[in-house]
Amino acid sequence: MRVMMYAVVGSVVCVLAGCSDLDNAFNPTPTTAGSRVAPKLRELPAPNPNNVKIVTVYRFENKTKFVYGSEISNGMTDQLITGLVKTRHFRVVERAKLDDLMTEKDLQQNGAASGQASTTKLLGAQLIFAGAVTELDETGGGQIGIAHWGGALGISSKTAQVGLDLRVIDAATGEILDSIDVRRKVRKSGISAGHRWGIGGSFSISNAMDLAVRECLDEAVFQIVSRYGAQ
């Protein structure tokens, strides 16, 4: 009977994991297809090509004690760069991987590689976006489900919070022109399954943190373009 229970649990989990309506059923504002901030980004005006600024993004500091804080902070830097490039409101120059750029210039200058990088200068940025991830937190919010013969299947919820503090710096003077403070909180439902006998394991499916990060970055891009975009 216990084997049958595990089979039932596994079958139900597979069905639920592939069901696109699960998120809609347990989350009043579904965000599976994208963040809740994304519609605002799509409504931004087209850039004026005569007013496009050259900007750069410095690697974010991780000021949290979250277990994967450093990895998430680095990923958020890359995602913000991608988001700014996609708006076409800025020309974004690379600084996070400056060592790699200088290596390529040296290779070309020494004749080990072909190209014109050794004879050209890097573009200078007009604005620098620097900052820190100041909040990363994910907590469980309860669970409902069934348990029988040592097996368990349920619906659990998680709440994730992400905070990002950005500084807008004049590259020519070093003056801090502006600060942008973004906080996002996302509650998501997911699937949990396991058993009580200490053999095997348990798991849960939730993307609350991923979506909180995405919404935080989308809001940051929206604020940056609204204030400094090529209007």
pLDDT tens profile 127-143: 999 999 999 998 875 55
Place of tokens 């990060």: 213
Q: Which tokens hold the place of 9? A: 């649990």
Q: How far is CA 96 from the centre of its chain?
A: 17
Beta strands in 11-50 (DSSP E): none
DSSP per residue, 135-166: EEEEEEEEEEEEEETTEEEEEEEEEEEEEEEE
Beta strands 151-170 and 176-195 are antiparallel
- One-letter amino acid for residue 59 of the chain: R
Q: How far is residue 229's CA from residue 90's CA, in Å, rounded to a whole number?
A: 7
Give the pLDDT confidence score for residue 112 in this predicted structure.
67
Strand partners, 161: 137, 185
User: Per CATH, which fold does 2-228 belong to?
Assistant: Rossmann fold (3.40.50)
Give the pLDDT confidence score for residue 100 in this predicted structure.
57
Place of tokens 């200078």: 124
Q: Which tokens hold the place of 209? A: 């943190």
Contact status, residue 162 vs residue 212, Cβ threshold 8 Å? yes
Tell me the pLDDT tens digit for each residue of 185-221.
988 776 655 555 444 444 444 588 888 999 999 999 9
Give the pLDDT confidence score for residue 180 in this predicted structure.
97
* pTM for this entry: 0.70
Contact status, residue 192 vs residue 156, Cβ threshold 8 Å? yes
Task: Kindly report the length of the chain.
Answer: 231
Q: How far is residue 157's CA from residue 59's CA, in Å, rounded to a whole number?
A: 32
Positive or negative torsion for Cα 206, 209, 212, 213 = negative
User: For each successive 10 residues of the chain (231 residues), what is the average pLDDT?
Assistant: 46 45 39 67 91 94 94 93 93 72 64 63 85 92 52 70 96 95 85 50 62 92 95 88
Give the pLDDT confidence score for residue 52 in this predicted structure.
95
Q: How far is CA 227 from the centre of its chain?
A: 21
